[in-house]
Structure 1
């Protein structure tokens, strides 16, 4: 006997519910994993990333300064030529 439209809707909604429950379980597991990370480790990792960023930025500015000196231009002219925004310096 073929399913009625209501039975079809019930089956579709049941499948959708199962998918949503599975997605919810996956998100809960992911969240539990993220919260198991020590906040101090997150801060330490972030600080190390900032230090590396600052070192790279200093090297880049040193190179830009060398280029400006060699070409006898202002650093701002070199930055403008390289299309570097002021916020990126």
Structure 2
């Protein structure tokens, strides 16, 4: 396959993706109008990222506290999690 063919295929793929993006944006606008929603996708993403950052900070603080308890009891963090009834993946 020549470079020109690959370039043409990539341009076609790009055009298809742009069309798909436009259709999705129109669909979002239609749904947003029906629901009388004033938020933009950018605002929704920003809020979601902010919530994720807060979650991570709280999780890290919780893990530090668990580590302090484990150090005080001279055991593993897993043992502390077992004592309070949580799994490590929680």
Change over 3 Å in CA distance of 1:61–1:40 after alignment to 2? same
Pairing 1:77–2:79 present: yes
For structure 2, the residue ranges without an aligned partner over 5 or more in a row are 1-30
Q: TM-score, normalised by structure 2?
A: 0.60
Q: What is the number of residues matched between the two proteins?
A: 60
User: SS in structure 2 opposite 1:33?
Assistant: coil
Pairing 1:31–2:31 present: no
Between the two structures, name the one with larger relative contact order (CA 8 Å, sep ≥ 6).
Answer: 1
Change over 3 Å in CA distance of 1:29–1:76 after alignment to 2? closer
| 1:16-35 Cα deviation digits (max 9, x unpaired) | xxxxxxxxxxxx8983312x
| Matches of 2:87 and 2:55, distance apart in 1 | 17
Q: TM-score, normalised by structure 1?
A: 0.60
| Matches of 1:38 and 1:82, distance apart in 2 | 41
Larger CA Rg, structure 1 vs 2:
1
Shift of 1:40: 0.3
Q: RMSD in angstroms over aligned alpha carbons?
A: 2.0
Change over 3 Å in CA distance of 1:29–1:73 after alignment to 2? closer
